[in-house]
Amino acid sequence: MEIKYCRLSTKGQLTIPKEFREKLNIHAGDELILYLKDEGIVVKPKALHFGMLRGLLREEIDIKKADDFLKSEREKWRL
């Protein structure tokens, strides 16, 4: 894991280090997604298509529970 330090400006702005921007392929004007976790803020590039969303909330969702829920809902709707 790479760690860089930065400072928050008086306007609440944060500069993402160049190395991180290059690795994430983000540029000036790109939109980002921010969400809160217990240990801090997660920043990710905004998805340009649905394929980019894969894994976005992997840590937030229990895949097994979600799969079981979907299976039970499908069973309820079967004729």
Which tens digit of pLDDT belongs to each residue from 21-75?
888 888 888 888 888 988 898 888 876 655 555 666 666 667 788 888 888 888 8
What does the alpha-carbon distance between residue 39 and residue 47 come to, in Å, rounded to a whole number? 23
Phi, psi of 42, deg, nearest 5? -105, 130
Q: Which of 44, 40, 2 is nearest to 19 (CA)?
A: 2
Which tens digit of pLDDT belongs to each residue from 2-22?
888 999 999 999 999 999 988
Where along the chain do its domains lie?
Answer: 18-77
pLDDT at position 76: 83
What does the alpha-carbon distance between residue 15 and residue 6 come to, in Å, rounded to a whole number? 7
E-strand ranges in the chain read 32-37, 40-45
pLDDT at position 13: 93
pTM of the predicted structure, to 2 decimals: 0.52
pLDDT at position 48: 61
